[in-house]
């Protein structure tokens, strides 16, 4: 029986990688250890910061290290690859061209998920890093699905979103989700958004720890984990539906 191995480009960031692995396990319908998805994880926190490079290309380029990790995973036996970092998908086309195995796309899969929930013509809020927003890559995938993207204000981005990512989660420090939830609620209520994407895997860490998760939030990392499980189950001849949590 074919048992495809999932390769994970980790360390971008490290805590998000651990949460991603946990999500894959929690979303897998398993009755015993052997029913779970085999994973090879290269947790490489030395990959240069993606946002820093997108905003200033004189900074270290993450692409060579991303390609090195993908190659290592392939050589180690990965049959398909996931990158639990939204900002890293700025480099997706180059990675997919170089890879010898399929590389799942967190942005494309999330756009598809949101489209299924709200339908074409919907308005979608995007909570993400400055790099992801500046690159416009996520917005392009949503636009191709007939969705309009709404982002936080510059002040919300500078005072709430980025500090939560870089000053709390990436530093392994305690965090408070209150500000982020307030921004998400404003995007829904004042921005007219039908859904709000948690589009940074550090923010996914925050989302996954919420006691109550607003039903209009869509966690991109959770979507990616579900697609990884679906691919595994389909290859095993089982139901290809891994429902989101």
Tell me the chain's radius of gyration from C-alpha atoms.
17
Question: What is the Cα–Cα distance from 40 to 8, expressed in whole angstroms?
Answer: 6
85 is catalytic: yes
* Continuous segment of H or E residues that includes residue 217: strand 217-219
Q: How many CB atoms lie within 10 A of CB 145?
A: 20
Given 9, 78, 81, 85, the catalytic residue: 85
- Burial code (b: 16+ CB inside 10 Å, e: under 16) for 197-210 equals bbbbbbbbbbbbee
200 is catalytic: yes
* Closest C-alpha to 43, from 84, 100, 1, 5: 84
3-state secondary structure of 7: strand
DSSP 182-208: HHHHHHHHTT--SEEEE-SHHHHHHHH
Given 126, 200, 206, 228, the catalytic residue: 200
Which residues are marked as active site?
85, 200
């Amino acid at each position: 029986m074919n048992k495809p191995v999932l390769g994970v480009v980790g360390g971008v960031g490290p805590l998000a990688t651990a949460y991603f692995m946990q999500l894959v396990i929690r979303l897998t319908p398993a009755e015993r250890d052997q029913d779970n998805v085999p994973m090879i994880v290269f947790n490489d926190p030395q990959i240069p910061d993606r946002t820093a490079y997108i905003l200033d290309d004189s900074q270290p380029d993450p692409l060579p290290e991303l390609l090195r990790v993908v190659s290592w995973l392939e050589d180690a036996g990965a049959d398909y690859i996931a990158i639990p970092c939204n900002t890293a998908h700025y480099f997706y086309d180059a990675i997919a061209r170089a890879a010898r195995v399929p590389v799942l796309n967190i942005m494309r899969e999330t756009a598809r998920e949101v489209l299924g929930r709200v339908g074409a013509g919907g308005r979608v809020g995007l909570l993400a890093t400055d790099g992801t927003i500046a690159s416009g890559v996520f917005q392009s995938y949503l636009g191709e699905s007939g969705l309009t993207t709404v982002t936080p204000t510059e002040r919300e981005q500078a005072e709430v979103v980025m500090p939560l990512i870089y000053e709390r989660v990436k530093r392994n420090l305690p965090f408070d989700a209150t500000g982020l939830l307030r921004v998400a609620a404003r995007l829904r209520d004042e921005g007219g958004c039908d859904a709000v994407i948690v589009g940074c895997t550090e923010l996914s860490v925050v989302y996954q720890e919420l006691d109550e998760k607003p039903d209009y939030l869509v966690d991109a990392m959770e979507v990616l984990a579900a697609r990884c499980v679906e691919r595994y189950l389909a290859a095993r001849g089982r139901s290809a539906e891994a429902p989101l949590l």
